[in-house]
Structure 1
Amino acid sequence: MRILAAMSGGVDSAVAAARAVDAGHDVVGVHLALSRAGGTLRTGSRGCCTIEDSLDARRAADLLGIPFYVWDFSERFRDDVIDDFIAEYQAGRTPNPCMRCNEKIKFAALLERAVELGFDAVCTGHYATLIDGESGLELHRASDAAKDQSYVLGVLTAEQLAHTYFPLGATPSKAVVRAEAAARGLTVAQKPDSHDICFIPDGDTRGWLAEKVGTATGDIVDRTGAVVGSHEGAHAFTVGQRRGLALGVPAADGKPRFVLEVRPVSNTVVVGPKEALAISEISGARYSWTGAPPADDEWDCHVQIRAHAEPVPATARRDAASGALVVTPEVALDGVAPGQTAVLYVGTRVLGQFTIDRTVSAVPAGV
């Protein structure tokens, strides 16, 4: 096959490209330039897709003896990921930019260009597995549960799965990948993993958002509507947050309070006890299937609401009236926010995903 290897400059994508070469494929490496800040350099283990990363990717490609290119996707990244991130926070939701990047950039914009240029598949260093199932190609969890990245790939469609290649899916651990990189002479063998949001490398999401959308004083209220504090911008808060709350009125029971809801229209933040973060139901109208959709209108599954969260047994159904997917977990979910992505699994298989629009608290407001 003709393989376009997406090389981020990290150890995983470098080893994935190397394995594609070893498998006898015709491999070309490409690094995506996602920022126009040409002087940007990685700081510690934060961020990704910087000048330093592109140089690391080029060195790896040179060692593997494959052609290498840098493609400027910065405008598409700004429109589909950064602007979406800002808009979601302004709407009182908690977005996942890594999901949007996989959906809109790596497996949409990049894959579309790759197919146009005659490539059969895009190769990445994601830890996930593709299996030929009874109803077609299926996406499954990786062998190494600690490194499994199937959650962030839950946005892929059946058509996109047909043009993807994940050489690391069956690898038992990240340590094996690093050892292989060292044995191959790849200089990124011990390069630290990237963390945080790549376009906010210092990790100060609140400060970054304040620069983009400004500040506006608003009320912090409890579940009864009583004002208990103030803030400088509702966009700086997310469900489950405790840090940064300036509460002038202590709770009657003396216990700490957490953000339960963000209301951007009124610029209000609602707080309450930790128990009120328990969610008994979630739903969303924006969903997609990773392969064949379920045959029934209601089915048993597991739901995962964060990249490293434990999957929870649940029942999912299509709501005939709204067209949304409604998921009822067997055990209440903790601190779920609208805007998060819920990925559904049947066993190790990724069934699909949806953006959470609505949550139902397991604790009534009067309790």
Structure 2
Amino acid sequence: MPLHATRKPALLVLEDGRSFRGRAYGAEGETFGEAVFSTGMSGYQETLTDPSYHRQVVVMTAPHVGNTGMNDEDPESKRIWVAGYVVRDPARVSSSWRAQRPLDEALRDQGVVGISEIDTRALTRHLRDRGAMRVGISTTETDPARLLERVRASAEMAGANLAGEVSTKEPYIVPAVGERTLRVAALDLGIKEMTPERLAERGVEVHVLPSTATLEDVLAVEPDGLFFSNGPGDPAATTGQVELLKQALERGLPYFGICFGNQLFGRALGFDTYKLKYGHRGINQPVMDLTTRKVEITSHNHGFAVDAPIGEETRTPYGVATVSHVCLNDDVVEGLELRDDAGNLKGFSVQYHPEAAAGPHDAAYLFDRFVELMGVSTSSTTGEEA
């Protein structure tokens, strides 16, 4: 008996009424979320366990998914966060020597409802043309009209404040590798495990704090710098963390933000944010660093962006802000810099994922830039080497 014949029929219905029929993949049941597509050809395990995908149903554009299985070394968090998973041709067996369980088994064990054997190319083109939208997947409902009613009654991503749902509840420390040279307070808005590891490799002791941390919590760490992580939700609905960042910038604390941390940095500097039509998701997005004029191939997962003028300086209460990185596909702002009147760097952020999990390593230099920023700041304020 063919493998697909053992899987229950499944139904996918988009918010605008378009529907697809396929077979269950992962857990059986029903799920709802925002339909987005990821263009990565590999790295699905890192995608699935990235907290930034909370409440999103991920459509894989690569047709063959699951051939490397799942292992215990590559997850970016303790669980799978996607609300649902859509693939075209699931692998029948895991062929990697590192695999410890099949992908569909991992999805099933964690209750992640998915669908397979649908035309993901047609679905991706539809989302690209119409934009990201709410979606439902069900193995129990056969009537598209009835499922559509529940899709339209489900929560939207715009206006959603989700950082508290994915953040650590208690602080923890990632120790420096070798001699500790610096200490960073990292606000967990949905942090990927590889990020503090990249800092630790550079001699940084990372104190990971809950998303509800106050300025007093940050200062209690006695940090050389402040870091804001990636995470899910609408930056316009995430206000408490913006106020914390403003207070930290007023005190001159060096800052580095990734992804959601870039959007909150933008809002702290006085810029607006907006929802992209279908976002950037995948490990193959070209970005130019306007500081060095180098082009990087980068890993993305964002549905919102900062509305800041490219090629202009903006005066803020904390210094002069400029756009530092842009996406070469569509000119979306992919990074910001803050400098004082003398041109010294005070803080910066990028919209993508320099920790490269999964993805290219072109942007690893950004962690070095943060270390250099903290070193300069520490020596200039204390008269000692960092």
User: Structure 2-normalised TM-score?
Assistant: 0.31
User: Structure 1-normalised TM-score?
Assistant: 0.32
Instruction: Answer 1 or 2: which has greater strand percent.
Output: 2
